Structure 1
Amino acid sequence: MSKWLAALSLIVGVSTPAHANLILNGSFENNDIKSNSWKAFTAGTVDGWSGTNMELWDNFQRLNAFDGSQYAELNANGNGGRYSIFQRFSTEIGATYDVSFAYAARRSGESFQLDILSDTDSVLYSQVFDDHSIKIWSEFNGDFVAQTALTTIRFSTINRGTYGNFIDDIAVTAVPDFVASASSMSVSEPVGLAILLPLSAFALMRRKRTK
């Protein structure tokens, strides 16, 4: 196989279907509620999630879900304190994982914190989110390296009260080994440069050669 064909096969390999989401009920669809409404859930009653009380909304108050038709409001209808939900999932020690989710505010001044923790409570990733727009979805994408066979993802409100901090479409997926190590590869040969080229560039080169 020529170097150009080998490079092309690598690009096609990157385009294979994504790995399975390790988060159960990441879009909060499993506990079905009435369309254009909301419902409060007590701790531990939303499929896949532990922690405090939470609310599920179904395309309510002019905010459609980022994925599916439902999403969660971290600030639940309750005592008005701080809220936190979390989920544990299996990981491979030393492997890299992508994390993504959508978030939006219900009103101004809201903030929440994302924590990713090892099974020994080491912090693998932590970030405070206070940049979200009112009823407009933003997207987060990040990654972490697992240290233990179980890892926890946790979302915690910072502002008190029963309004705000919507989240949806939470996903954690394993990064293939060859992709995780690609950033450490030096590009010193033509085939290395070919790997960086999109498929459209190969099509363009082919058209130029046939003229």
Structure 2
Amino acid sequence: MSFPRARTAVAALLVAGATALVSPAHAADGHRALSRFDDGSFETPKAPANAFTNLTTGQTIGPWSITAGNVDLIGAGFWQAAEGDQSLDLNGSTAATVAQSFTTVPGTTYSVTYALAGNPGGGPAVRTGRVLIDGQNFQDFSFDVTGKTRAAMGYVGHQFAFVAQGASTTLSFGSTVAGAYGPVIDNVQVTECKPCCGG
């Protein structure tokens, strides 16, 4: 950042808004939050307040691994977060991919939700990227930063579902835009869909 500085999908669905999409225990829509998936708001480790920390391939952000490129972990106050204090710019000086593996039950449907914005500091107006499950592309995303500011990032909620193929699943987010101004993600949640609860 240079501020002055998948194929067993059940659905891919854009969800308006950037509110918390599930409760920690059990949501009314039949999805149950998973404790096995952790730190979807990139709160650990703490980046400096009103600043950011650049992290590169091979480093970690809590349970997340940086598998390509480099990212900027955005500290509290630098710009608006969707949830908690921190968020993640998927472009540090170049496009990056982050991944987290978590326990799943084969044949079970899971829902992934996340809040998307973009670094408003420069570069092309549209920030693009993709979400992958076990290396397969499940959802492409884009965000237009026109009119957005650090105080009003304009987060939009996204959602898709997948059927787990194994006892462990890897969720990845990757930028597909070049340069130092990338898509910003926050409030990533994975929930297990329970048909008996209407989900």
TM-score, normalised via structure 2 length: 0.71
**Alignment correspondent of 2:13:** none
Whose relative contact order is higher, 1 or 2, with alpha carbons under 8 Å and at least 6 apart? 2
Larger radius of gyration: 1
Distance 1:97 1:132, change over 3 A: farther
- Do the aligned residues in 1 keep the contact of 2:32 with 2:194 (CA within 8 Å)? no
Distance 1:146 1:162, change over 3 A: same
Query: Gapped runs of 5+ residues in structure 2?
Result: 1-25
- Do the aligned residues in 1 keep the contact of 2:115 with 2:186 (CA within 8 Å)? yes
Q: Residue 73 of structure 2 aligns to a residue in which SS?
A: strand
- Do the aligned residues in 2 keep the contact of 1:73 with 1:164 (CA within 8 Å)? yes
Does 1:70 find its partner at 2:83?
A: no
Whichever structure has more helix as a proportion of its residues is 1
Query: Gapped runs of 5+ residues in structure 1?
Result: 1-12, 184-211
Does 1:147 find its partner at 2:151?
A: no
TM-score, normalised via structure 1 length: 0.67
Q: Residue 148 of structure 1 aligns to a residue in which SS?
A: coil
AA aligned to 1:103 is L
AA aligned to 2:175 is T
Distance 1:132 1:21, change over 3 A: farther
Q: Please give the per-residue CA displacement for 1:128-174, whole angstroms capped at 9, x wherever unaligned.
A: 11144442101012211111111111111111111121100111111
> How many equivalent residue pairs?
160
CA distance in 1: counterparts of 2:73 and 2:27, whole angstroms: 35
**Alignment correspondent of 1:116:** 133
**Alignment correspondent of 1:128:** 140
Distance 1:162 1:170, change over 3 A: same
CA distance in 2: counterparts of 1:147 and 1:37, whole angstroms: 39
Root-mean-square deviation (CA), in Å? 2.4
Does 1:46 find its partner at 2:61?
A: yes
**Alignment correspondent of 1:37:** 51
What is the percent sequence identity of the aligned residues? 27
